[in-house]
Homo-oligomer: A and B are copies of this chain.
Amino acid sequence: MSRTAPTAALNRGSRASPKVSQNDFIYEEMLDAILEQRLAPGTKLSEDTLGEIFGVSRTVIRTVLQRLAHERIVRIQPNRGAFVSEPSPEEAREVLQARRLIEEGIIRGAVRNQSPEDIQELNQSVAAERHSLENGDHEAWVRLSGDFHLKLAEIARNQTLSAFLRELVSRTSLIIVQYQKGAVSPCSCDEHSEIIEAIAARDENRAITLMNTHLQACEDQLNLCENDTKADLYSIFAKPTRKTGKSRGAK
């Protein structure tokens, strides 16, 4: 019953690297799992189970869960446990709105502080995005797409804003997982490229407009029309116009 196989794999190499990385490793591993949709929103994150998987005690798992909870990737219910967050439509709108605001500030900083090397790195980042999209590697693309925005934040040289954006990017991934309607996404690589061009040309206003359009496009691809679980249930079980009882056939 105790599947301890993964443990060895995890501890491989931890002898050489610093001790603190055990925490960080599990954190990264869980964040990846959530953002790559291997752990769906709402999934219960049992401390015992995770402890066994990673070969550590609940103490360590608890620390990681609290960290994820502070970043709103995980929701902790007292005496109930931790679950992968299920952001509401309202929360989704909030996150996108916050991103528009913060990324505007970041673009201002990036336009100011940019170096040619920065622009080069950004272009490489978009190239990697485009490559993963052509290869149909959706998981890699999601990650790289977020990385572009984080690279932009680095160029703006404000670690405080970077940290905020990092949280927002993670939460956006979770939101996309939950509310993306229809096709995966039309290639936003071009939008990223345009933003780089505007920044390189030090055209602040254009860069900001492009970024706002980009983020709005992202929001528009979501299905945030009050589709709560509750409403869904009602609509799913709503028969034409029957109102009388005795309508429960299939278990």
Flag if B63 contacts A95 (CB, 8 Å): no
Flag if B19 contacts A159 (CB, 8 Å): no
Q: Which label, helix, strand, loop or mixed, suits the secondary structure of the A interface? A: helix
Flag if B19 contacts A78 (CB, 8 Å): yes
Binds B, one of A1-9, A97-105, A177-185, A211-219: A97-105
Residue of B nearest to A95 (CB): B160
On whether A158 and B78 interact (CB within 8 A), knowing A66-B67, A70-B70, A164-B164, the answer reads: no
Q: How far is the CA of A97 from the CA of B66 in the complex (A)?
A: 28
Chain B residues, CB < 8 A from A236: none
Chain B residues, CB < 8 A from A105: 97-98, 101
Q: Is A238 an interface residue (CB 8 A)?
A: no
Q: Is A161 an interface residue (CB 8 A)?
A: yes
Flag if A94 contacts B158 (CB, 8 Å): yes
Q: How far is the CA of A243 from the CA of B67 in the complex (A)?
A: 52
What is the count of identical protomers in the complex?
2
Q: Is A20 an interface residue (CB 8 A)?
A: yes
Q: Is A139 an interface residue (CB 8 A)?
A: no
Chain B residues, CB < 8 A from A78: 18-20
Q: Is A137 an interface residue (CB 8 A)?
A: no
Flag if B159 contacts A94 (CB, 8 Å): yes
Flag if A98 contacts B66 (CB, 8 Å): no
Q: Is A91 an interface residue (CB 8 A)?
A: yes
- Residue of B66, B104, B160 touching A94 (CB-CB under 8 A): B160
Q: How far is the CA of A116 from the CA of B104 in the complex (A)?
A: 31
Q: How far is the CA of A105 from the CA of B100 in the complex (A)?
A: 10
Q: How far is the CA of A94 from the CA of B78 in the complex (A)?
A: 35
Chain B residues, CB < 8 A from A95: 160
Residue of B nearest to A109 (CB): B97
13 more A-B residue pairs beyond the given contacts A66-B66, A97-B161, with a C-beta to C-beta distance below 8 A: A18-B78, A19-B78, A63-B66, A66-B67, A67-B70, A70-B70, A94-B158, A95-B160, A97-B160, A98-B105, A98-B158, A101-B101, A101-B161
Residue numbers of A with Cβ under 8 A of B are 18-20, 63, 66-67, 70, 78-79, 91, 94-95, 97-98, 101-102, 104-105, 158-161, 164, 168
Could you list 8 examples of A-B contacts with CB < 8 Å?
Answer: A19-B79, A20-B78, A70-B70, A97-B105, A98-B158, A101-B101, A101-B104, A101-B161
